[in-house]
Chains A and B, each alone.
Chain A
Amino acid sequence: DAMVIQNPRYQVTQFGKPVTLSCSQTLNHNVMYWYQQKSSQAPKLLFHYYDKDFNNEADTPDNFQSRRPNTSFCFLDIRSPGLGDAAMYLCATSREGQAREQYFGPGTRLTVT
């Protein structure tokens, strides 16, 4: 089945220790998104790739970076995680176009100790 896969599902890292979260898709969608979702809140868009073009949201901290080496994979790098970065991180994909739905992965829950 075509899908969005996120690894790992649970990630524990130490305060200040860089961490990378992974997302892959078999849908061949040209747009990929990273969201941060804190407990009982709506997902907050961090950035997205439109093909190879990186689009950062204005309020996304510099601590968060992303790489998209090819159509299928996208990575979220947190350079120096703080306690406030503990959250669920959701990857999503879509084809371009206003009414196109986004397909979400199951998320990676990040714990910072």
Chain B
Amino acid sequence: GNSVTQMEGPVTLSEEAFLTINCTYTATGYPSLFWYVQYPGEGLQLLLKATKADDKGSNKGFEATYRKETTSFHLEKGSVQVSDSAVYFCALSDKAGANNLFFGTGTRLTVIP
């Protein structure tokens, strides 16, 4: 079956610190991988994605590399800002049709000045 395991939070960092949020997956096929971000009181927004092995997704200073050998898609950012405080969800999709997403449990990040 399909599943996503995310690093448990909450994570609290000082501004300009390095961020890593771990994500590993189990899938029956060849999934696409996503990171979504949810700011307080809002819906989810796509942060970045990768569709095949060794692809690197990047956006707003965040990066994640699709590692098939370790079934991982860890999220990194070199220097976090207070505005990055949010909940981050790793997700996978392996259906060619309706694109169902399987989410991890989410990791809450708080960045303090």
B99 within 8 A of A: yes
Residues of B within 8 A of A86 (CB): none
Q: Are A105 and B100 also in contact (CB < 8 A) when A98-B94, A99-B49 are?
A: no
Query: B101 and A102: CB pair below 8 A?
Result: yes
Q: Using a Cβ cutoff of 8 Å, how many contacts connect chains A and B?
A: 66
Q: How large is the interface on A (under 10, 10 to 19, 20 to 34, 35 or more residues)?
A: 20 to 34
Looking at the assembled complex, report how far the CB atom of B38 sits from the nearest CB atom of chain A, in whole angstroms: 9
Nearest to A4 among chain B residues (CB) is B43
- Chain B count of residues within 8 A CB distance of the other chain: 26
Q: Which residues of A are in contact with B by a Cβ distance under 8 Å? A: 4, 6, 31, 40-43, 45, 48, 50, 55, 90, 92, 94, 96-107
Query: A90 and B43: CB pair below 8 A?
Result: yes
Residues of B within 8 A of A48 (CB): 98, 100
